Amino acid sequence: MKATDGRAAPTAILPIFPEDAPLAWAAICGAVSAGSRWEWMTLGRVLIAIVLAEFIFRWSAWLISQGNLQVKQPPSSTTASLPYAVPDSQAQRLSRVFAKLRALWVLPRGLWMRTLVFFFLAGLLLAYGLGTPGIWVGILGLVIAPLSGVWLKKRPGAAQVWSPLTWMTLAWMLGTLAAGGAAGWFMAAAPVFGAAASGLAALRGGKAWGRALALAGLTAPAAILIAHRLMLPAAAALFVAAPAYVLALRVEGTSERRARALQPLLWTSMAVAALALGWWI
């Protein structure tokens, strides 16, 4: 990274994308919301869901955003061309493609490429361990991860704000399916909390509308529970959401400070909703 004021710009060491999305916690809450009987096999699948969401998906997207898929060094003539191929023919172009892929693998950035391949293969193996239908959500995450990384590289502002919505939803669904839960209306809590996380990310980025989105995401679970006549869980969800309005309106300082104040309430609201769905559904 280039320096802007004479000092070297900091380089990210650990994946922090998406920053405001507690993916492991979302997977755990999704598993609790399934209301299934916990056994050793269930615990193993939930652990797989946590590893997929928190490490494989997050790190793959982050690595893609940090890498460079363009080969600056020209491939050698022995690998870039075929002596029996007509110039600019299909065979010649195909040989250049393979030469670039080989260069990506063996050049100094090859470690980056090999790490990505390892994450993808490990993700496939872990997704297989979830069984059906969880394996399809796992494969979907492996497809979205590189796209999310490219998005972060091209448009970091928009990616930091809206990626939590996608990843929180996937993590919650993975946890639910890993614990033996079936797809149903109660999974609506997943995108709702994802929207709340995106609101916090927007608020952290200085966008005033992020506060409204975060508050809406924290309040919507209560509305979902009321719609299904689960009054006691809805009251608990509202009890957790109420302090968020006070903090969002009364906390003084920067948007960063307001986002930090609301973050624990997001975690608490997710836990309350998961317990309510697991016990009453």
Q: In the chain, how many domains are there?
A: 1
CA 156 to each of CA 76, 151, 192: distance values in angstroms, whole numbers, following the listed order? 35, 7, 23
Residue 103 placed within a domain: no
Residue 89 placed within a domain: no
DSSP code of residue 188: G
Residue 13 placed within a domain: no
Q: 237 and 272 in contact (C-beta within 8 Å)?
A: yes
Q: How far apart are CA 87 and CA 110, in angstroms?
A: 29
Q: What are phi and psi of 195, to 5 degrees?
A: -65, -40
Residue 78 placed within a domain: no
The tens digit of pLDDT for each residue in 108-146 reads 555 667 777 888 899 999 999 888 888 999 999 999 988
User: Mean pLDDT throughout 64-81?
Assistant: 52
Position 265 scores a pLDDT of 87
Residue 275 placed within a domain: yes
Residue 207 placed within a domain: yes
Which domain range does residue 251 map to? Answer: 23-68+109-280
User: Mean pLDDT throughout 19-46?
Assistant: 86
Residue 97 placed within a domain: no
Residue 60 placed within a domain: yes
